[in-house]
Amino acid sequence: MKAALVDERGRITLGSKIVDRFGRKFAIVATARDIVLVPIAKDPLAELSRIWKGSGIDKFTIKELKQMAREEAEKEAGKYVR
Rounded to 5 degrees, what angle do the CA atoms 26, 31, 25 make? 0
Residue 76 above 90 pLDDT?
Answer: no
Beta bridge partners of 18: none
Same domain? For 59 and 72 the reply is yes
Q: Are residues 63 and 32 part of one domain?
A: no
Expressed in angstroms, the distance from the first to the final Cα of the chain is 49
Q: Name the residue range of residue 74's domain.
A: 44-78
The per-residue pLDDT for range 41-68, each reduced to its tens digit, is 888 888 877 877 778 777 888 899 899 9
Average pLDDT, the chain: 87
Measured CA to CA, the distance from residue 21 to residue 64 in angstroms comes to 36
Both 2 and 31 in one domain: the answer is: yes
Kind and range of the H or E element at 20? helix 16-22
Q: Does 4 lie in the same domain as 29?
A: yes
> pTM of the predicted model, to two decimals?
0.52
Give me the mean pLDDT over the 18-22 stretch: 92
31 phi-psi bin (left φ>0, alpha ψ -120 to 50, beta other):
beta
What would the pLDDT profile of 7-17 be if each residue is shown by its tens digit?
999 999 998 99
